[in-house]
Chains A and B, each alone.
Chain A
């Protein structure tokens, strides 16, 4: 009777130990954010990695081609930080686009992070559509990072 109880307790503690979430490397999450799809690729989810990379890249390029503007932080506008965070989800694509729009000198100006240009053309017919695509791409990549976190932690296959 006692041995049976001890056996069950041991089995229970083993199961709980198996269900313990694994620690997630911060570097993996950083890479997943920086390059869309790379996190899944490193975790061995190659098909998902390719699809996510293609979707985020396609949405971003569409947004740029439509003359959409990336959100950048603006002084006295707390909401702009919120939008900028969403766009920052694009990772290296966001950084390259800002570099393209501002140049290296403009990017690290005296008032950094303010005074940046988000690119795009406000009078273009596709300006707002472009913004939508750019924001969508950023938010999708943020969800991809969360997915990488869940997979690495063992919560998802």
Chain B
């Protein structure tokens, strides 16, 4: 048996917002981990974020034909 968190069981959520939030956090993290200058961080953040967001969209569409 698992316990229920203080906010309770959620029945509604926005998958897209969660995807963007996750991509944002991971992109910020790797930008600061792998780059030490401001410009390099901005570029890596943008690349990582766009790749994750657009990649997820593409994968989602590609999965349509499959059951």
Residues of A bordering B, CB below 8 Å: 47-48, 51-52, 55, 58-59, 62, 64-67, 69, 101, 117-126, 129, 132-133, 136, 140, 143-144, 147, 157
CA distance A147 to B35 in the complex (A): 12
| Residues on B with beta carbons closer than 8 Å to the beta carbon of A122 | 2
| Residues on B with beta carbons closer than 8 Å to the beta carbon of A59 | 22, 25
How many residues on the B side are at the interface (Cβ–Cβ under 8 A)? Answer: 22
Asked whether any CB of chain A lies closer than 8 Å to the CB of B7, the reply is yes
Q: Which 10 A-B pairs have the closest CB atoms?
A: A124-B9, A121-B4, A55-B29, A51-B32, A121-B9, A67-B5, A126-B13, A55-B25, A59-B25, A101-B3
| Residues on A with beta carbons closer than 8 Å to the beta carbon of B4 | 67, 121, 124
Q: Mark B18-62, 1 if CB is under 8 A from A, else 0.
A: 100110011011001100100000000000000000000000000
Q: Are B29 and A64 in contact, with the CB atoms below 8 A?
A: no
Residues of B bordering A, CB below 8 Å: 1-5, 7, 9-13, 15, 18, 21-22, 25-26, 28-29, 32-33, 36
Q: Are A136 and B22 in contact, with the CB atoms below 8 A?
A: yes
Q: Are B33 and A143 in contact, with the CB atoms below 8 A?
A: yes
User: Which of B13, B29, B33 has a CB less than 8 Å from the CB of A129?
Assistant: B13
Looking across the interface, which residue of chain B has its beta carbon closest to that of A101? B3
